[in-house]
């Protein structure tokens, strides 16, 4: 019994960890906002869009920010919430701005 409780506690702890983008974006296609809305979101932020694609159930914007840096932005398809912004510096290193979850290559 004690082993079963320990296993359940471990499962609960892992389940409470940070959500991955593919988990956050699981919504039926009928509930998605159109690509035009994603393009409008990008324009509001001053981003130049090179491409909008779908990855792991999320919209992904590939483009440049207002300062001309390459960025990749993960956007929730039904709420248009910005889940993650990833930029590349001049040396090709990636930096993520997703509430401090990751910063590195």
**pLDDT tens digit string along 9-61?**
444 444 444 444 445 799 999 999 999 999 999 999 999 999 999 999 999 99
Predicted TM-score of the model (pTM): 0.66
Taking residues 72-88, report their average pLDDT: 94
- Cα-to-chain-centroid distance, residue 105: 16
Q: CA dist 43 to 23, 66, 76, 99, Å? A: 26, 10, 17, 22
Helix (H) or strand (E) holding 15: helix 2-15
The token duo for 49 is 């869009």
The CATH architecture annotation of domain 20-97 reads Roll (3.10)
Residues 6+ apart with CB under 8 A from 74: 21, 25, 55, 58, 59, 60, 82, 83, 84, 85, 86, 98
Range with lowest mean pLDDT among 27-41, 46-60, 71-85, 86-100? 86-100
Q: Which of the 8 DSSP states describes residue 34?
A: P
Looking at residue 100, what is its pLDDT? 38
Q: Where along the chain do its domains lie?
A: 20-97
């Amino acid at each position: 019994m004690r082993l079963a409780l320990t296993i359940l506690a471990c499962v609960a702890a892992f389940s409470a960890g940070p959500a991955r983008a593919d988990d956050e974006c699981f919504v039926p296609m009928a509930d998605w906002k159109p690509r035009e809305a994603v393009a409008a979101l990008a324009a509001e932020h001053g981003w130049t869009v090179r491409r909008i694609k779908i990855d792991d159930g999320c919209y992904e914007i590939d483009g440049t920010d207002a300062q001309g840096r390459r960025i990749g932005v993960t956007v929730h398809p039904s709420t248009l919430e910005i889940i993650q912004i990833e930029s590349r510096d001049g040396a090709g290193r990636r930096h993520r701005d997703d509430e401090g979850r990751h910063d590195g290559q």
